[in-house]
Structure 1
Amino acid sequence: MAMTLRLTPDQDRALILLAEAQGSSKHEAAVRAIMAAANRLLNDAAVAELARDIIPGQAALEARIRQARP
């Protein structure tokens, strides 16, 4: 599926630098960045779930941290 990605000049420069570092196109660099972010998010959620199940008091501590955040 096609979509248009609108970037600020700073975001575009960051994407150019990322693509150059990877030796890829800007499109491929953006796709890789999206996949990496999704994987980190899912992995972090899995680790948090395991911690809640394994570490006593982890769920309560996590709840207190969430309440303390603005």
Structure 2
Amino acid sequence: MKNEHDILSPDELVQLTGHQYKSRQCQWLNEAGIWYKKRRDGSPSTTWYHIAHPLAYRQFSTEQKLDEPNFSAM
């Protein structure tokens, strides 16, 4: 069973993107809004979490600072 923190294998990346070439995989991930890190060999590395939660669909709050507690919730 896959964990959301598991890194996709090279075969899974080919299956997901439909591309064998690393550069085309990166392009596909960029267009889909999926975060990845490029490895030294140029291949993308990402987790199942990032596949299920693309950056474009995440909600970020710019109003609340992360280092400060939410006092209004108390």
Does TM-score exceed 0.5, indicating one fold? Answer: no
Bigger fraction of residues in strand: 2
TM-score of the two chains, using structure 2 as the length reference? 0.32
Structure with the greater alpha carbon radius of gyration:
1
TM-score (norm 1): 0.33
